[in-house]
Amino acid sequence: MAKLLGLTLVGLVLALYKNHRSSYQTRLNAFREVTPVDLPNCTLVKGIEAGAEDLEILPNGLTFFSTGLKYPGIKSFDPSKPGKILLMDLNEKEPAVSELAIMGNTLDMSSFNPHGISTFIDEDNTVYLLVVSHPDSSSTVEVFKFQEEERSLLHLKTITHELLPRSSALTPLWITSLWIL
């Protein structure tokens, strides 16, 4: 009799578990078919076919893209090349991207692995670009000054710290103060 009662109890628990799991799959649409949607005004932008990790749009329409992230578990489209920062002007009729040259000799370009980016605009309209980078599986914040006339970035400094988390985004409160997300 005890065995029968035990088997019945196990059967009820398994039935409730299966029903519970099934209801979560239904609520989360785990087995839903996704139908492709053709968007009429979307076009492929040449130069970022492999995708971008993050973007930041300035008030004047200039847009920065971080590309080339190499991260465990994520497919890298060009594992032999370091990451780069691209620029696109959204005010153009047919926007195109261009790679920004990185000036200065303080950044090791071979290990540049950009992830999240943010901008800070100073009182004199100087644009600073802050980039979360993951060289050698660590985290750093690279600080650049955007030189609009030359269409380049001047590397100012690298921020490293043992307590800097493995983050993907940051919010600059000022050029020397960061809120890491």
Q: What DSSP letter does each residue of 121-162 carry, written as one string?
A: E-TT--EEEEEEE-GGG--EEEEEEEETTTTEEEEEEEE--T
115 belongs to the catalytic site: yes
Please check if 108 is assigned to a binding site: no
Please check if 136 is assigned to a binding site: no
User: What's the CA angle centered on 37, arms 97 and 63, to 5 degrees?
Assistant: 20
What's the one-letter identity of residue 173?
A: L
Active-site option among 20, 115, 134, 161: 115
Which residues fall in the annotated binding site for Ca(2+)? 53-54, 117
Active site residues: 115
